[in-house]
């Protein structure tokens, strides 16, 4: 008895398309994010036939819709186009230096569905052969197939977006394939190219949804599926054969598609209707008048499946304005009425014009500011800030008027510096605070410049350190975005060590303190910030000094946030010649040791007073870092020290700092110390010098000097577990070092 009932239900589902999904109480209308539409269904009696079964798997939490009873996930379905989108598996053939690691192909059995010709068969690899074979009709002995070959090597000029056979190839898919067996192989097991191309890949993908990139060689290892289209139709009979049969679905407001040549038939809504053509009367009338898709000149009247046009009073014609239509023409008596109406309207419009002008001008100004906000990366900045989960209560959003007033409308006399990413103005806020206002160079509105601006805001918002310049706020409403910093009054370190009039004021103890404070700031960025930060442009121009010669690290436009699970980051080389890490320059792998190298160059500049790179010097002296290392090796340290230090001999502190600079400038990053180690060693040197010669704490009063001595001594003792005394540093001299001449 139960079997008979189920049989009746199944027959009813085939006979009544509308009732099959709408009336059957157990029919599911969705599975996860997929909307299930008839003839597909996920419930007994809810689908036309087993070829249209959707299996909804809820065992793993989020429901997953599978095609029929297999493991192919349905991502979208469109009954009006007789298509479904599925996520098809990627075939792969992977090797490493030890041999074959993984090889997978794919096999498809689609029932009455077919692989759409809107797909492409794609293969990726540098020694790759990929092909597929499949059956079109019902004869299992008739197989069709095709494939392609992709070749390249590590020196090939691969082109992004090109899939012509160099690194990537593609072929069209034959029409009507119901099955497919795909195979992908490597010609020579990826020999000599496993570093950048360890795998070969092959897959079907909907045309337009895959664009080849050279990064696919590596990042495609994590891709398991690609979107693919399947065509389907009802049964095996054509429209003429099926229209008189029981279960014919194209009824009511739908019709059978006579253009489709089979196998099977397809339904489509009548012209002027839309909806699911496989459910009787589900295609509903389109109201062209409400949607504005008509060609009526004056009056539109909707009709079932169409619309009619008419003219308003005083006009005559067919009412249409396209093609051979006559439109609507005014009657003779209408011209007088029009003239009176126009003159009256003109007077009214003239009265309103001024009022409207003021309103529109104000609205335009508001819209322009909103446009600049988006254009300058305001939305990106909000996303970055909210994504970081960081409190930004200290940062203020300034208006255009506030910053114009602060800088006297950006008068040139207020310019205090120009850099690679913008111009810096001195400004006075309404509360009499003196600030530095940076106007970024975003006139070309390139994506990289916007990202650098947003990058600097995000990075500075995360930093809270006495030796890092403080971000006060920003303004996003102008065409060129603005950043507001605390004002550092004494210029840059470069101004002092390379200006003959200023360099004599930088005694050795001040230089050592500046180096120590800069190292502490960089150490904080590398190891104490919430997300490790690599400055990437450490140089004297980016180290500001206040009136007490306290160092403040600035200019984070080129900086990079490093994920906590990474120790290096592949990126385009960026920085300043003379300070660039040679290992980073060669490998493009940015690490915290890149900042260590740049800081080593800064140490050498503090010792010698010379610029990092100068073509005015002899060839062997042009690169300061190389010349310093050579002089150190030759025992000529005294000869290259800054004459403004006025030394008769080389103090032990300078020798220790020189040895530290030599370690920072080593070619291999692994051989360099970390910034934390550098900061600790400089703290120890400074603490020793203050303890032995307390009168050298230039710029500090007695209490401040005593406090600094205690602070540095405590820091160093906490690291080395002992007292700071001359023996601590004497022990350093017992290490094997480069020869250094003291000189007199």
Give the span between the Cα atoms of 234 and 82, in whole angstroms. Answer: 10
Burial of 416 (0-12, 13-18, 19+ CB in 10 A): middle
Q: What pLDDT does 719 receive? A: 41
Which region, left, alpha or beta, applies to residue 350 given φ > 0 means left and ψ of -120 to 50 means alpha? alpha
Tracing tokens 């389907």 back to the chain, one arrives at 232
Q: What pLDDT does 201 receive? A: 92
378-486 shares its CATH topology with 493-734: no
Q: What pLDDT does 262 receive? A: 76
Q: What pLDDT does 443 receive? A: 53
DSSP codes of every residue in 532-564: -EE-S--SGGGEEE-TT--EEE---TT-EE--T
Dihedral (CA of 317, 318, 320, 325) sign: negative
Region 475-503: what's the mean pLDDT?
84
- Pick the more confident residue, 22 or 486: 486
Region 504-526: what's the mean pLDDT?
91
Region 353-375: what's the mean pLDDT?
82
Contact 311, 298 (CB under 8 A): yes
- Token pair listed for 682: 């400089």
Q: What is the 3-state secondary structure (H, E, C) of 466-497?
A: CCECCEEEEECCCCCCEEEEECCCCCEHHHHH
Tracing tokens 């992977």 back to the chain, one arrives at 94
Q: What pLDDT does 671 receive? A: 95
User: How do residues 150-183 score in pLDDT, each as one tens digit?
Assistant: 988 766 678 888 898 888 999 999 988 888 899 9
Give the span between the Cα atoms of 2 and 19, in whole angstroms. Answer: 21
Q: What pLDDT does 278 receive? A: 92
Q: What pLDDT does 192 receive? A: 65
Beta strands 396-397 and 267-269, pairing class:
unpaired
Q: In 693-720, which residue ranges form alpha helices assigned H by DSSP? A: 702-720
Give the span between the Cα atoms of 556 and 1, in whole angstroms. Answer: 79
Beta strands 471-475 and 396-397, pairing class:
parallel
User: How do residues 2-17 score in pLDDT, each as one tens digit?
Assistant: 334 333 333 344 444 4
Read off the pLDDT band of 283 (50, 70, 90).
very high
Give the span between the Cα atoms of 604 and 593, in whole angstroms. Answer: 17
**Contact partners, residue 613, CB within 8 Å, separation at least 6:** 577, 578, 622, 623, 624
Closest CA relative to residue 231, chosen from 78, 21, 107: 78
| Average of per-residue pLDDT values in the chain | 81
Please check the confidence at residue 333 and state whether its pLDDT lies above 90: no
Q: What pLDDT does 649 receive? A: 81
Region 642-654: what's the mean pLDDT?
85
Tracing tokens 């980016």 back to the chain, one arrives at 542
Give the span between the Cα atoms of 594 and 674, in whole angstroms. Answer: 10
Among 39-43, 151-155, 720-724, the least confident range: 720-724
Give the span between the Cα atoms of 744 and 248, in whole angstroms. Answer: 108
Q: What is the DSSP letter of 275?
A: S
Please check the confidence at residue 24 and state whether its pLDDT lies above 70: no
Cα→Cα distances 95→100, 222, 325, Å: 4, 15, 69
**Contact partners, residue 643, CB within 8 Å, separation at least 6:** 609
Q: What pLDDT does 340 receive? A: 83
User: How do residues 85-138 score in pLDDT, each as one tens digit?
Assistant: 999 999 988 887 777 777 887 888 888 889 999 999 999 988 899 999 998 877
- Token pair listed for 689: 């010098």
Give the span between the Cα atoms of 670 and 132, in whole angstroms. Answer: 49
Q: What pLDDT does 740 receive? A: 45
Among 350-359, 450-459, 551-560, the least confident range: 450-459
In 166-242 the beta strands, taken as DSSP E runs, fall at 168-172, 179-186, 199-206, 225-231
Q: What pLDDT does 377 receive? A: 74
Region 322-326: what's the mean pLDDT?
78
Is 396 annotated to bind ligand? Answer: no
Please tell me which of 197-211, 438-452, 526-540 the model is most confident about, judged by mean pLDDT: 197-211
Please check the confidence at residue 448 and state whether its pLDDT lies above 90: no
Region 184-197: what's the mean pLDDT?
75
Please check the confidence at residue 699 and state whether its pLDDT lies above 50: no
Cα→Cα distances 100→103, 152, 186, 194, 195, Å: 8, 20, 10, 11, 15
Region 181-201: what's the mean pLDDT?
80
- Pick the more confident residue, 517 or 691: 517
User: How do residues 199-222 score in pLDDT, each as one tens digit?
Assistant: 889 999 999 999 998 888 888 888
Domain layout of the chain by residue ranges: 1-78, 83-231, 378-486, 493-734
Please check the confidence at residue 62 and state whether its pLDDT lies above 70: yes
Contact 163, 172 (CB under 8 A): no
- Residue 286, CB half-sphere, CA atoms under 13 Å: how many? 14
Which phi and psi (to 5°) does residue 440 adopt?
-75, 150
What are the residues facing 64 on neighbouring strands?
57
- Token pair listed for 588: 């493009």
- Token pair listed for 590: 């940015």
Quote the distance between the C-alpha of residue 286 and its chain's center.
Answer: 41
- Pick the more confident residue, 423 or 120: 120
Q: In 23-173, which residue ranges form alpha helices assigned H by DSSP? A: none
Read off the pLDDT band of 724 (50, 70, 90).
very low
Contact 554, 544 (CB under 8 A): yes
Please check the confidence at residue 512 and state whether its pLDDT lies above 90: yes
What are the residues facing 128 on neighbouring strands?
150, 186
Give the span between the Cα atoms of 442 and 354, in whole angstroms. Answer: 35
Q: What pLDDT does 87 receive? A: 93
CATH topology for the 378-486 domain: Phosphorylase Kinase; domain 1 (3.30.200)
Region 641-653: what's the mean pLDDT?
85
DSSP, collapsed to helix, strand or coil, labels residue 424 as strand
Q: What pLDDT does 569 receive? A: 58
Read off the pLDDT band of 739 (50, 70, 90).
very low
Q: What pLDDT does 743 receive? A: 38
Return the percent helix, strand and coil in the chain, to nearest 5.
35, 25, 40
Q: What pLDDT does 440 receive? A: 72
Q: What is the DSSP letter of 643?
A: G
CB count within 10 Å of CB 47 equals: 24
- Pick the more confident residue, 572 or 163: 163
- Measured N-to-C along each axis, helices 675-692 and 592-608 cross at an angle, to the nearest 10 degrees, of 30
Q: Class of 493-734 per CATH?
A: mainly alpha
DSSP, collapsed to helix, strand or coil, labels residue 158 as coil
Please check the confidence at residue 147 and state whether its pLDDT lies above 50: yes
Q: What pLDDT does 475 receive? A: 84
Which phi and psi (to 5°) does residue 358 adopt?
-65, -40
Contact 718, 711 (CB under 8 A): no
Please check the confidence at residue 666 and state whether its pLDDT lies above 90: yes
Closest CA relative to residue 539, chosen from 568, 497, 509, 483: 497
Closest CA relative to residue 173, chosen from 128, 227, 136: 136
Q: What is the DSSP letter of 50?
A: G
Q: What pLDDT does 557 receive? A: 66
Contact 54, 65 (CB under 8 A): yes
As a whole number of angstroms, the longest Cα–Cα distance in the chain is: 115
Active site residues: 537
Please check the confidence at residue 386 and state whether its pLDDT lies above 70: no
User: How do residues 250-261 score in pLDDT, each as one tens digit?
Assistant: 999 999 998 888
**Contact partners, residue 726, CB within 8 Å, separation at least 6:** 688, 692
Region 662-684: what's the mean pLDDT?
95
């Amino acid at each position: 008895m139960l079997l008979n009932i189920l049989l009746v239900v199944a027959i009813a589902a085939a006979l009544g398309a509308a009732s099959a999904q709408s009336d059957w109480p157990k029919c599911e209308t969705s599975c996860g994010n997929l909307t299930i539409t008839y003839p597909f269904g996920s419930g007994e009696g809810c689908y036309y036939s087993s070829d249209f079964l959707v299996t909804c798997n809820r065992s793993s939490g989020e429901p997953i819709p599978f095609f029929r009873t297999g493991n192919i996930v349905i991502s979208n379905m469109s009954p009006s186009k007789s298509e479904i989108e599925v996520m098809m598996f990627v075939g792969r053939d992977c090797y490493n230096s030890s041999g074959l690691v993984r090889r997978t192909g794919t096999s498809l059995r689609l029932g009455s569905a077919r692989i759409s010709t809107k797909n492409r068969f794609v293969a990726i690899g540098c020694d790759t052969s990929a092909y597929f074979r499949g059956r079109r009709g019902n004869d299992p002995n008739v197989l069709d197939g095709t494939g392609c070959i992709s070749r390249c090597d590590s020196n090939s000029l691969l082109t992004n977006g090109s899939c012509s056979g160099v690194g990537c190839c593609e072929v069209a898919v034959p029409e009507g394939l119901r099955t497919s067996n795909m195979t992908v192989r490597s010609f020579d097991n990826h020999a000599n190219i496993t570093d950048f191309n360890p795998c070969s890949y092959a897959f079907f993908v909907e045309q337009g949804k895959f664009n080849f990139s050279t990064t696919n060689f590596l990042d495609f290892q994590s891709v398991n599926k690609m979107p693919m289209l399947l065509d389907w139709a009802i049964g095996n009979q054509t429209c003429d054969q099926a229209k008189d049969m029981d279960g014919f679905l194209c009824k009511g407001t739908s019709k059978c598609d006579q253009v489709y040549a089979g196998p099977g038939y397809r339904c489509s809504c009548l012209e002027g209707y839309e909806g699911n053509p496989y459910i009787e009367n589900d295609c509903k009338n389109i109201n062209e008048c409400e949607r504005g898709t008509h060609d009526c000149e004056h009056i539109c009247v909707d009709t079932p499946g169409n619309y009619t046009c008419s003219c308003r009073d005083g006009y005559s014609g067919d009412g249409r304005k396209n093609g051979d239509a006559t439109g609507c023409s005014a009657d003779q008596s209408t011209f007088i009425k029009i003239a009176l109406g126009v003159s009256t309207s003109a007077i009214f419009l003239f009265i309103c014009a001024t009022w409207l002008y003021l309103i529109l001008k104000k609205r335009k100004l508001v819209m322009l500011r909103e446009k600049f906000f988006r254009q300058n990366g305001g939305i990106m900045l909000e996303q970055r800030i909210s994504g970081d989960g960081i409190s930004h209560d200290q940062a203020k959003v300034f208006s255009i008027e506030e910053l114009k007033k602060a800088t006297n409308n950006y008068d040139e006399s207020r310019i205090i510096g120009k850099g690679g990413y913008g111009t810096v103005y001195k400004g006075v806020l309404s509360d009499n605070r003196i600030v530095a206002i940076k106007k970024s160079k975003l006139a070309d509105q390139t994506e990289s410049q916007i990202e650098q601006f947003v990058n600097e805001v995000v990075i500075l918002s995360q930093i809270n350190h006495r030796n890092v310049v403080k971000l006060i706020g920003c303004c996003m409403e102008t065409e060129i975005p603005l950043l507001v910093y605390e004002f550092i009054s004494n210029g840059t370190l470069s101004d002092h060590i390379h200006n003959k009039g200023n360099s004599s004021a930088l005694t050795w103890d001040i230089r050592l303190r500046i180096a120590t404070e800069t190292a502490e700031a960089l150490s904080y960025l590398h190891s104490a910030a919430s997300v490790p930060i690599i400055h990437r442009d450490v140089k004297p121009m980016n180290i500001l000094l206040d009136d007490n010669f306290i160092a403040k690290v600035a200019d984070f436009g080129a900086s990079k946030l490093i994920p906590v699970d990474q120790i290096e980051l592949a990126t385009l080389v960026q920085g300043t010649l003379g300070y660039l890490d040679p290992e980073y320059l060669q490998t493009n792998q940015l690490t915290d040791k890149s900042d260590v190298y740049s800081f080593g160059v800064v140490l050498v500049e503090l010792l010698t007073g010379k610029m990092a790179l100068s073509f005015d010097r002899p060839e062997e002296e042009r690169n300061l870092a190389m010349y310093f290392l050579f002089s150190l090796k030759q025992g000529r340290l005294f000869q290259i020290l800054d004459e403004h230090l006025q030394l008769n001999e080389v103090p032990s502190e300078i020798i220790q700092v020189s040895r530290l600079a030599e370690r920072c400038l080593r070619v291999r990053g692994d051989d360099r110390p970390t910034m934390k180690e550098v900061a600790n060693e400089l703290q120890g040197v400074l603490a020793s010098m203050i303890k032995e010669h307390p009168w050298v704490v230039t710029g500090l009063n007695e209490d401040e000097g005593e406090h600094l001595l205690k602070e540095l001594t405590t820091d160093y003792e906490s690291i080395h577990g002992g007292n700071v005394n001359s023996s601590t540093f004497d022990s350093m001299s017992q290490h094997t070092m480069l020869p250094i001449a003291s000189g007199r």
